[in-house]
């Protein structure tokens, strides 16, 4: 009976082809595993170190072990020893062992604040001997979050008590703070009243400033008109001065003529009083005229622009009627 290998030549030697394919696949897989192992240091030589701790808290198998940020191993095992302490075994790559010395320490840390826990190993001194496989490394206990929280709580207790006392002091109705708040409220109301008054004063001040500006404009306008006014006053003074000079020239002549007229009138009055008693009435009228002339003369002399320029003169006097009347009576008797 014919087989499929006889019918289709592609299926000839199919067993050998499958064997070769599987062999190549296995070889490729082995090469890939070897390369991954080489990259991940799966096939690197390792040594074991250990340390003891009081608790296994924050510890786990396969926890990373780092040196200066480089992963150099892992936690391989966690057990309790005969004394009840936690025994932690570390699997360290042998090529990093040269930096781990007798004074190196292992500590439990976190990568960041909320990162995973790691075991950090510190560099040792070059003058100290290098640790060997199976040696114990010193564990340096660090404060965990719980320890730090406890310390913070203990430190905050006095602060909390002080805050409580302070709050009680603040809310005390008879306390100083309450009084200060009341005084502040009162002062605030007074400040509001003062603010209103201040606004009123500001408005009044603005009005006063506007009035002052108006006054200053008027003064400025007046100062601009002042030269014209000064010029007008100067012209008036010059005219008054010219008038004063004219009067100073004419009034003395007028006064002399008036004096002469009075003397002539007195002489005529004396002559007439001797001739006829009727002339007494005329004399009285002449005396009145003379008095009026004297009044006019005195008024002119007292004017402000004349009195400083005239020399003192003795005014003439008319014959009193008492003297004339006896002469008239004597004429009648004769």
Q: Minimal CA–CA distance to 324: which of 291, 275, 288, 259?
A: 275
Q: Which two tokens stand for residue 54?
A: 């009081």
Separation between Cα atoms, residue 103 and residue 140, nearest integer Å: 11
Q: Which two tokens stand for residue 106?
A: 């292992």
Q: Are residues 131 and 104 in the same domain?
A: yes
Looking at residue 333, what is its pLDDT?
43
Q: Are residues 62 and 127 in the same domain?
A: yes
- Supply angle C-alpha 24, 27, 29, rounded to 5: 110
Q: Is residue 167 part of a domain?
A: no
The residues, any chain, with a CB within 8 Å of residue 231's CB and separated by 6 or more, are none
Q: How many domains does the chain have?
A: 3
Domain that residue 17 falls in: 4-38
pTM score: 0.38
Q: Is residue 219 part of a domain?
A: no
Which phi and psi (to 5°) does residue 25 adopt?
-65, -45
> Mapping DSSP to helix (H, G, I), strand (E, B) and coil, where does residue 80 land?
strand
Whether the predicted pLDDT of 318 surpasses 50: no
Looking at residue 241, what is its pLDDT?
78
Q: Is residue 157 part of a domain?
A: no
Maximum Cα–Cα distance across the chain: 226
Q: Are residues 13 and 102 in the same domain?
A: no
Q: Is residue 263 part of a domain?
A: yes
**Mean local confidence (pLDDT), 246-275:** 74
Q: Which two tokens stand for residue 24?
A: 């190549």
pLDDT band with cut points at 50, 70 and 90 for residue 28: very high
Q: Is residue 225 part of a domain?
A: no
Choosing from 122, 142, 162, the residue where a domain stops is 142
Q: Are residues 66 and 137 in the same domain?
A: yes
Whether the predicted pLDDT of 126 surpasses 70: yes
Q: Is residue 309 part of a domain?
A: yes
Task: Give pLDDT tens digits for 150-198.
Answer: 888 888 888 888 888 878 877 777 777 777 878 888 888 888 888 888 8
Mean pLDDT, all residues of the chain:
77
């Amino acid at each position: 009976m014919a087989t499929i290998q006889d019918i289709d030549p592609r299926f000839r030697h199919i067993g050998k082809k499958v064997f070769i394919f599987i062999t190549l696949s296995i070889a490729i897989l082995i090469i890939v595993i070897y390369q991954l192992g080489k990259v991940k240091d799966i096939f690197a030589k390792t040594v074991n170190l250990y340390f003891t701790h009081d608790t296994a808290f924050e510890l786990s198998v396969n926890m990373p072990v780092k040196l200066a940020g480089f992963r150099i191993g892992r936690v391989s095992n966690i057990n309790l020893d005969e004394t009840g302490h936690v025994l932690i075994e570390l699997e360290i790559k042998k090529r990093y062992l040269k930096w781990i010395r007798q004074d190196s320490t292992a500590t439990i840390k976190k990568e960041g604040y909320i990162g995973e826990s790691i075991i950090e190993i510190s560099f040792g001194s070059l003058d100290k001997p290098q640790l060997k496989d199976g040696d114990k490394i010193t564990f340096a206990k660090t404060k965990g979050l719980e320890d730090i929280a406890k310390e913070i709580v203990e430190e905050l207790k006095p602060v909390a008590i002080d805050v409580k006392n302070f709050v009680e002091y603040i809310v005390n109705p008879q306390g100083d703070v309450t009084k200060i708040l009341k005084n502040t409220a009162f002062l605030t109301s007074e400040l509001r009243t003062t603010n209103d008054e201040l606004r009123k004063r500001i408005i009044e001040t603005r009005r006063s400033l506007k009035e002052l500006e108006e006054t200053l404009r008027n003064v400025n306008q007046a100062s601009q008109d002042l030269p014209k006014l000064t010029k007008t006053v100067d012209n008036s003074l010059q005219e008054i001065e010219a008038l004063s000079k004219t009067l100073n020239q004419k009034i003395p002549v007028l006064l002399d003529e008036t004096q002469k007229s009075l003397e002539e009138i007195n002489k005529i009055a004396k002559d007439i009083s001797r001739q006829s008693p009727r002339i007494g009435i005329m004399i009285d009228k002449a005396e009145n005229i003379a008095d009026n002339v004297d009044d006019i003369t005195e008024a002119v002399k007292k004017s402000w622009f004349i009195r400083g320029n005239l020399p003192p003169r003795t005014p003439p006097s008319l014959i009193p009627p008492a003297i004339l009347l006896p002469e008239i009576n004597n004429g009648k008797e004769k």
